[in-house]
Amino acid sequence: MDWYELLSSKVTELGRRQVELDTGLSKTTLSQVLNEKYPGNIGNIEQKVLAAYANLTMTCPVLGLIPVKRCLNEQIKPFSHSNPQRVRLYRACQTCPHRSKQ
């Protein structure tokens, strides 16, 4: 099953609102993707769908084996100099091959 079929099946199974929450996609973006009219980088959409529903994992240099969804969430968190783990994550994410190209 490819990511688009996975997305379509989850929309049917869970409904659009739940898919929007699970993937972080806006209502408009989800609609455009489902209607095959999305003008942006479809690779980012694929990454979010797979992270939400494919149960993929990856090895983080700081956290070890984690779900891809957590990796994506850690990348968007702001830098915090008061939290040693956030400092290590921020530094590692800057050069990580799994870094999102958003």
Mean pLDDT, range 34-49, rounded to an integer:
92
String of b and e for 79-99 (b: at least 16 CB within 10 Å)? eeeeeeebeebbebbeebeee
Q: Model's pTM, two decimal places?
A: 0.69
Residue 12 has pLDDT above 90, yes or no: yes
pLDDT at 94: 87
CA dist., res. 41 & res. 33, Å (int): 11
Residues 80-93 have a mean pLDDT of 91
pLDDT-based confidence at 47, cuts 50/70/90?
confident
Alpha helices in the chain (DSSP H): 3-14, 16-23, 27-34, 42-53, 68-76, 84-95
Residue 16, pLDDT score: 96
Local confidence band at 1 (pLDDT 50, 70, 90 cut-offs): low
